[in-house]
Structure 1
Amino acid sequence: MEPISMTPDADLLEGLRRHRAELRESMGALEAALAAPAAGDRARWAQRVHVAAVELAGDFREHVDITEGPDGLYREVLTTSPRLSGAVSILTHEHALIRGQVDSLLTRVAASDVSTDADKVRDLGTALLGRLVRHRQRGADLVFEAYEFDIGGET
């Protein structure tokens, strides 16, 4: 019987770091778009928010693939550290909640009357960003607990 490695694949860790930085960039882009003045040209503001939300949605889909995929982080964590199954379950559940928030934001920002409801779009967007920040923190904690490795990802 081969021993189970307690260190994840180096390519997986590098991919996690790279993707973590990309997700943070798209979160920053959405935050900047939401914070921009909407009073002048609200249609242009809504378009900027929409573009940022679409980028974030794509990066989040990639995050789910990297973590939940057949060769993903969660499978490896459950193999090497089954004691962390509760944390993995929470993070997986959060994926569904975040996807719902992303979809709600995209639907709202695409609505024809978005130009009159910038506050609602901002509320949805900032709630999404808050959940993503906490999710990323829990994900970093999971990796550290499993491997005593800080995935960082910020430059």
Structure 2
Amino acid sequence: MRLVQRRRLAERWKAAYQKPVVSLNMKFVNPGFEPQAQLEKLLQREEAIGGLFYAAKILGFDHVHGAGPAVWVSGFDSALAWRGLRPALEGECADVILRQHAYPRSLTRGAVQVGNVRVSHIIQTWLDVSAHATRGA
């Protein structure tokens, strides 16, 4: 078996994932603790998965610097009730960006454990960041 027209197939695959994603900018409530430690604690929750450029960094493919960490959640209702987080006010820099994925089952099935956090696998990460505005052309 041989795969033909790989580039065309990859472009069609990416296009299916380029639907607008709803996201919420969030702040950590406790400023006394290191933000990275709070993020790792957040990613130990079963319903939270590190994504986008944060996942790329954890997986060893860090190629964008300065992008805020993104966390995939299954739903905003439960995530907004998590202790230690609050919505960021207008004009306030977010500590973490909660995002709701268009295909949550695909995301959770392929999540990988790296150390003590779960992140999206490398193919999912590529789909999510390949045409992201933060990355640029």
Whether TM exceeds 0.5 here: the answer is no
The interval holding the TM-score normalised by the smaller chain is under 0.3
Higher helix share: 1
The TM-score, its normalising length taken from structure 2, stands at: 0.26
The TM-score, its normalising length taken from structure 1, stands at: 0.24
